[in-house]
């Protein structure tokens, strides 16, 4: 049986689909899976031990350069048509992903209109499956695969990525995110960095923009490496050799547990029950002390009183560097004195 998976973006969403691919291959060992993914993220499915072929697509770039991209689109379409598939599975649930899958040779299936992120996508499917939207994205992917391909959905979560046994005494800090409301306070990052350096850890702090680089340099003022605009392949390789990671709600944070790297995820404005880091190596710290949590707003709307905390966003107030450090040491199995 040949299956074409259409899961194009974003980084976190792609990681969420990995366990479902593992489930399918374990249930049906002779299964062949190809994967259509945005070119920027192709390094992730290429590292899954069971994916036969990765077909990169560049929808984001093609939209901006439609005339110049005509040749590239033709090449992509030719790659899609190299095989006839028993099933084309759109696990993205968007109209653009459904349309991409519709171009391939094979029956297209996906989420039902009630379950898809964009209900109109289901109009292109031969069959849509009702998958509960009020559960974690990883579980939704696993259940969709099991329903569409036909096997019992297992409870275990196995991302299927090779683990690197060569670990250094290094921690990765993923501080960058697209929402201001999801940024852990800089002062907290700096205190955590000092504790880590005092305990003999190297620091790896990626930055994808000038603004993030300025924050990364402030975090590593006492020591550590700022990795400015690394390729995804380079970042995956470096992260795979880390002993631990700390991350706000951002796509890069999901890579750590997928690579078997113990990590702590920090959540305030967003709900980790739907898209938080999941797996044996992941621990999530989420605030609940304010009635507005999770607000799901890009910018914090909380009205501070004169005697309120100086921490902003205030939903992070109880997630202190002390709390994070203790959780990280429990995850890594290296207990050490807490911050003073």
Residue 273 to residue 277: CA distance in whole angstroms: 9
* pLDDT at 60 exceeding the cut of 90: no
Span 42-57, average pLDDT: 97
pLDDT at 65 over 90: no
Q: Which 3 state secondary structure label does DSSP give 2?
A: strand
What is the reported pLDDT for 67? Answer: 66
pLDDT tens, position by position, 198-224: 999 999 999 999 999 999 999 999 999
Burial class (CB in 10 A: 0-12, 13-18, 19+), 335: exposed
Q: List every span in the chain annotated with CATH 3.40.50.2000.
A: 2-150, 170-332
Tens digits of residue pLDDT in 313-338: 999 999 999 999 999 999 998 755 44
Residue with tokens 């964009």: 118
For the chain, the first-to-last Cα distance in angstroms comes to 58
Q: Work out the pLDDT band at 339, boundaries 50, 70, 90.
A: very low
Q: What is the pLDDT of residues 281-295, one digit of tens each?
A: 999 999 888 899 999
7-21, 272-286, 324-338: the lowest-pLDDT one: 324-338
Q: Which residue matches tokens 């309120």?
A: 308
Instruction: Name beta bridge partners: 60.
Output: none
pLDDT in tens, 105-133: 999 999 999 999 999 999 999 999 999 99
Confidence of residue 309 (pLDDT cuts 50, 70, 90): low
Q: What was the pLDDT predicted at 337?
A: 44
CATH superfamily of 170-332: Glycogen Phosphorylase B; (3.40.50.2000)
3-state secondary structure of 226: strand
Q: Which token pair is 119?
A: 């209900």
Residues 116, 101: Cα–Cα separation, whole Å: 15
Size of the chain, expressed as the number of residues it contains: 340
- CB under 8 Å to 42, separation ≥6 — which residues? 54, 56
Find how far residue 45's CA is from the centre of its chain: 12
Four-point Cα dihedral 135, 140, 143, 145, nearest 10: 180
**How is domain 2-150 classified at the CATH fold level?**
Rossmann fold (3.40.50)
DSSP for 235-303, written as a single string: HHHHHHT-SEEEEESSHHHHHHHHTT--EEEEESSS-HHHHS--STTEEEEE--SSTT-S---SS----
Q: What is the mean pLDDT of residues 235-242?
A: 97
Q: How many helices (H) and strands (E) does the chain have?
A: 12, 12
Mean pLDDT of the chain: 93
The pTM of this model reads: 0.93
């Amino acid at each position: 049986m040949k299956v074409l998976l259409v899961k194009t973006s974003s980084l976190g969403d792609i990681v969420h689909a990995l366990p479902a691919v593992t489930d399918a291959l374990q249930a049906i060992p002779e299964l062949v899976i190809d994967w259509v993914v945005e070119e920027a993220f192709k390094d992730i499915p290429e590292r899954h031990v069971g994916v036969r072929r990765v077909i990169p697509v560049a929808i984001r770039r093609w939209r901006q350069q439609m005339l110049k991209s005509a040749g590239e689109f033709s090449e992509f379409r030719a790659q899609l048509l190299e095989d006839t598939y028993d099933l084309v599975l759109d696990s993205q649930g968007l109209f653009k992903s459904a349309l991409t899958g519709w171009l391939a040779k094979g029956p297209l299936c996906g989420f039902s209109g009630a379950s898809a992120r964009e209900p109109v996508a289901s109009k292109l499917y031969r069959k849509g499956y009702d998958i509960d939207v009020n559960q974690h994205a990883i579980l939704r992917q696993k259940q969709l695969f099991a329903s569409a391909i036909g096997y019992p959905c297992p409870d275990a979560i196995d991302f299927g990525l090779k683990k690197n046994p060569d670990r250094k005494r290094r921690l990765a800090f993923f501080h960058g995110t697209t929402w201001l409301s999801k940024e852990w306070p800089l002062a907290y990052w700096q205190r955590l960095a000092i504790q880590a350096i005092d305990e003999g850890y190297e620091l790896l702090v990626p930055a994808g923009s000038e603004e993030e680089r300025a924050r990364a340099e402030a975090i590593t003022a006492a020591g550590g490496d700022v990795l400015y605009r690394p390729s995804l392949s380079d970042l995956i390789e470096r992260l795979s050799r880390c002993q631990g990671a700390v991350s706000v709600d951002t796509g890069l944070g999901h890579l750590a547990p997928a690579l078997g790297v113990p990590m702590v995820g920090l959540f305030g404005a967003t709900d980790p029950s739907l898209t938080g880091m999941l797996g044996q190596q992941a621990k999530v710290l989420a605030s609940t002390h304010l009635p507005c949590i999770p607000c799901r707003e890009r910018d914090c709307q909380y009205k501070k009183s004169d005697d309120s905390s100086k921490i902003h966003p205030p939903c992070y107030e109880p997630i202190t560097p002390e709390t994070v450090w203790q959780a990280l040491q429990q995850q890594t199995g290296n207990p050490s004195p807490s911050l003073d």
